[in-house]
Structure 1
């Protein structure tokens, strides 16, 4: 397919709970943007933990099968719909879409399209949309990290974790990061104090490294029983930010129950008479009730993330670049646990 000007749409369909080889390639006609929309020719999309969960039918609010996955993308605006500035055509933009990104052409609400600064590679920008927004908002809008504080980042070598680490270090914080031993040298080179997440008493090891009073913030994507240790690691006035339940990835049964159980636990902790706070971070929070405010915040924060990239505060990590037609290989690579960074798909 000629991605530059083809009239053919190529997209990846998730038909149900399937192995990566069960993903289907579907061809069709490139859609026409409606009022308020732009048509984006995708240049880079990615395989995140969200799509991995969707493949298993385990993502909290995924749409019914079949659907086109793809949480975020970078591409160039080809055409604009009614009510949209025609001058947007030719602009490279980033968009957070939750589903639909694994396609050669994607319809995006113009208000959700954030310009990508000149000089930033499409794949590099893609690695920082979902991961960058999540890290930035948790760090600054939830934990409100300041220079001189100490933070604990679980999964410090992961997609979100690696961005969290870099942003926290740039803010002047001390970072304790959990990861497997093979990533410790790389973390030390960045200035992170690494801890093996397989350590027999992980919480005790972190307490030895943290200030006597505890950590100012803990970022936990694991959930499960370990969330209790994350809460106990906090100093008075500290903040726990939970943003996932990775420990239940392969569980059977209700996909909502682990999240609801976690939310209940966080609510109970916040109701107790203590000076610590606990949040569950959802990047989509507030969109349904205040869409304009949500969009303005996302645009401002993603712009800050791209500025951090341009300053060198954040280095994008690309684990691999594969075409849409090789999506099964891309998903297997992303789920292998052997790579650092994000697997990127292109047309």
Structure 2
């Protein structure tokens, strides 16, 4: 009888996708408070694309196993973990380590996946779903009648933001390349070409009185334009750095200057607000609260999927050992949805 083995993808340094390495080893044993998850689906996020360039904030030193999140079945449990958890399909947010056939996770960090949701479907909505839900409902508090702007409306987080905002009754203006505009219109989004000479001016034409929320994944100097789009009472949520994908940051607004500008904006008596979003914020200071919110919010995301408010957008499914091809495909900008890796 063949012995089960661990298969994992290693990011050895700042390499092209082809530089990823496959490593084999023994399947680990869960320690106290841990579960061993047999991975059924993991994915390629923007985070891994930045990590291979060494540009993701707080990434571990090379070499390491990437993989921001995963969905799988609990294969075994450690001491002080409810044994009945074995055999349960769960999702987990990890930051790193998900690109492996078997992954050790603290039992307190797993969220059950409801019956009837495929592993790949659930995977598309772990980090993207939590991020979109928390920004929309916890940060911007979007509700029916609001007008919101979603940059990168066809992207991983952007497409989930669009769907959740529409489900909340908001009007959505979304930026994307022209080839995605018909799809956005079919979903009820007003599309704007992100390559247009003055995107902000086009958005102001569509919302002369300003908008209630802007979700900006680009960062950089364009964040000033995002702030100026807000109506009184509006919220700017900055949650990414897509503008640094292909640059070394020389043209970016210095971090301290940007923080100072946001502080000043929030001090102005115009009821507008700007904030940065990071899914890991507060984890170090209030771990139990962080876990509670994560479980509650991901449960809401999965419920939205079952209701039909959300559609799982899978761009492609590839074997784990084809991670280089999956990463290159995700970085190509030619696909809509998430590239999923299977065992």
Instruction: Write the distance in 1 (CA, Å) between the matches of 2:258 and 2:81.
Output: 41
1:54 and 2:51 aligned = yes
2:310 corresponds to which residue? 314
2:70 corresponds to which residue? 73
Instruction: Write the distance in 2 (CA, Å) between the matches of 1:189 and 1:242.
Output: 27
2:300 corresponds to which residue? 304
Written as runs of structure 1 = structure 2, the 5 A alignment for 1:124-139 is 124-139=121-136
SS of the equivalent of 1:241 reads strand
Instruction: Write the distance in 2 (CA, Å) between the matches of 1:183 and 1:322.
Output: 23
Picking from 234, 242, 247, the partner of 1:246 is 242
2:188 corresponds to which residue? 191
SS of the equivalent of 1:83 reads coil
Instruction: Write the distance in 2 (CA, Å) between the matches of 1:311 and 1:84.
Output: 31
2:205 corresponds to which residue? 208
Picking from 12, 15, 31, the partner of 1:15 is 12
Deviation of the 1:241 alpha carbon = 0.3
Deviation digits for residues 179-233 of structure 1 (CA, Å, limit 9, x no counterpart) = 00000000000000000011111111000111x3200000000011111110000
Instruction: Write the distance in 2 (CA, Å) between the matches of 1:60 and 1:247.
Output: 14
Deviation digits for residues 145-179 of structure 1 (CA, Å, limit 9, x no counterpart) = 11011000000000000000000000000000000
1:232 and 2:232 aligned = no
1:91 and 2:88 aligned = yes
How many residues get paired?
A: 342
Change (3 A) 1:217 1:253: closer
Change (3 A) 1:112 1:261: farther
**Alignment TM-score, normalising by the size of structure 1:** 0.96
**Alignment TM-score, normalising by the size of structure 2:** 0.97
Written as runs of structure 1 = structure 2, the 5 A alignment for 1:170-185 is 170-185=167-182
Query: Can you give the 5+ residue segments of structure 2 that lack an aligned partner in the other structure?
Result: none
Root mean square deviation of aligned Cα: 1.5
Is contact 1:213–1:236 with CA below 8 Å preserved after alignment? no
Is contact 1:44–1:123 with CA below 8 Å preserved after alignment? yes
SS of the equivalent of 1:225 reads helix
Deviation of the 1:274 alpha carbon = 2.5
Is contact 2:220–2:253 with CA below 8 Å preserved after alignment? no
Instruction: Write the distance in 2 (CA, Å) between the matches of 1:272 and 1:6.
Output: 64
Is contact 2:221–2:253 with CA below 8 Å preserved after alignment? no
Change (3 A) 1:258 1:45: farther
1:220 and 2:221 aligned = no
